[in-house]
Amino acid sequence: MSIETTMIDAWQRQAAWLWLLLPVSWLYGFITLLRRQAYKVGLFASYRAPIPVLVIGNITVGGSGKTPLIIALVSHLQKQGIKVGIISRGYGGDSSQMPALVHTGSLPSIVGDEPSLIVNITGAAMAVCPNREQAITALLKAYPDLQLIIADDGLQHYALQRDIEWIVVDASRGFGNQQLLPTGFLREPISRLQGANVVYHEKADMAATDDNKKAQSTRLTMHLQAEKLQPLWSSTAELDSSIVTEAKMPVPNSRVHAVSGIGYPQRFFDTLLSLGFDVVGHAYPDHYDFSLSELLQYTQQPIIVTSKDAVKIKALLLNATSHQILSEEYQELVNRLWVLPVTAVLSDSFYANLQQQLKALNIDITTG
């Protein structure tokens, strides 16, 4: 088990030994506060983009549902005729090749897994680079008619000025022991939420309750809706058709291997459990670089992965076939790999708030 997965497990259990790290958390909090104040008073330079910037992030370590939210938001804006682009740090990619534009054929190993997923679903203009100014410059050079830039996971990147902030909070996960790193999993104190646009990621069954529907008149919420399982090779047209067969879809009550390299894998496992599967969970660190040999150890039962992990596994399969090294056992693996897509469902209040904020920036949008 890696250090990352060990820490995630400890935060989830609120292990008592974490309190031994409290002095480190105090130091982390002090440095974080000084850094933010330095940007606020102008001691550190910050960049103002020539068009409005909307930052979406969180104050916690681990997944909060931010990527599905961005996909839903971008799709909504595109339907309204808004020319929107996206920037990202490109975590997990090759920073030596950045800034880089992201296309549908971009390799996750170069641009990162989340950017690959976002562009493959939305087709949006996107650039990646740890230096967000360089990412924006590259993006606007290629797409000069953009009206809005969405910065993925740039909440703590104060070198980038922003016009709108959206903070995603996993309501079911909460804030654990409410301590900063490493005692807890907070990147910033809970006070950071005061006066901010907070989107509460709730469970689907919570979002459907009458009380919550009333709260949504003012509270900004989202939930993830699981879609139909898809064979991993269904959208991999480049894969030799002789390799794949018509695989039998896993059904409820059957045992499956759930393999996940996302920020909060338990949510993925819980979703599969709620769909009725007998889940054998295998948690890997966020943005983990899988190998085909690792997946081979999960034998007999079907293997279900997230959409984010699927983009990397597809790239591995295509690379293997291009070098003609896909052996019989790997071909059998292809037919046991399934993907569980999820869609973010955003509340009406979210869209109403978005419309007001964009209107203030002279970007017209109608609710949909």
pLDDT tens string 207-250: 555 665 565 567 899 999 999 999 988 644 555 555 555 668 89
At a CB cut-off of 8 Å and minimum separation 6, what does 27 contact?
A: none
Q: Which tokens sit at 13?
A: 């259990």
Q: Which tokens sit at 179?
A: 């301590």
Domain with CATH 3.40.50 in the chain: 228-340
Q: pLDDT tens-digit profile of 92-123?
A: 999 999 999 999 999 999 999 999 999 999 99
| C-alpha triplet 186, 190, 192: angle, nearest 5° | 105
Q: pLDDT tens-digit profile of 149-176?
A: 999 989 999 999 999 999 999 998 899 9
Among the residue ranges 11-20, 38-47, 246-255, the one predicted with the least confidence is 246-255
CA 109 to chain centre: 16
Output the CA torsion 313→318→324→325 (10° steps). Answer: -10
CB-based contact 287:112 (threshold 8 Å): yes
In the chain, alpha helices (H): 3-13, 22-41, 66-79, 108-111, 113-122, 132-142, 204-207, 210-215, 265-274, 292-296, 307-322, 328-334, 348-360
Evaluate if residue 11 carries a pLDDT over 90.
yes
pLDDT interval class at 368 (50, 70, 90): very low
For position 233, what pLDDT does the model report? Answer: 80
For position 236, what pLDDT does the model report? Answer: 47
In 42-186, alpha helices (H): 66-79, 108-111, 113-122, 132-142
Rounded mean pLDDT, 300-323: 88
For position 309, what pLDDT does the model report? Answer: 96
For position 182, what pLDDT does the model report? Answer: 96
Q: How many CB atoms lie within 10 A of CB 142?
A: 13
In this prediction, what percent of the chain has a pLDDT beyond 90? Answer: 75
Judged on CB neighbours under 10 Å (0-12, 13-18, 19+), 46 is middle
For position 227, what pLDDT does the model report? Answer: 95
Evaluate if residue 331 carries a pLDDT over 60.
yes
Among the residue ranges 31-40, 213-222, 305-314, the one predicted with the least confidence is 213-222
Evaluate if residue 319 carries a pLDDT over 90.
no
- DSSP characters for 49-72? -SS-EEEEE-SBSS--SHHHHHHH
Amino acid making up residue 12: Q
Evaluate if residue 9 carries a pLDDT over 90.
no
Q: Which tokens sit at 314?
A: 């597809």
The pTM score is 0.92
CATH 1.10.10 assigned to domain 228-340? The reply is no
pLDDT interval class at 269 (50, 70, 90): very high
| Mean pLDDT, the chain, integer | 90
Rounded mean pLDDT, 62-83: 94
Rounded mean pLDDT, 80-99: 96
Inter-CA distances, 320 with 116, 251, 313, Å: 19, 29, 11
For position 20, what pLDDT does the model report? Answer: 97
Rounded mean pLDDT, 261-274: 93
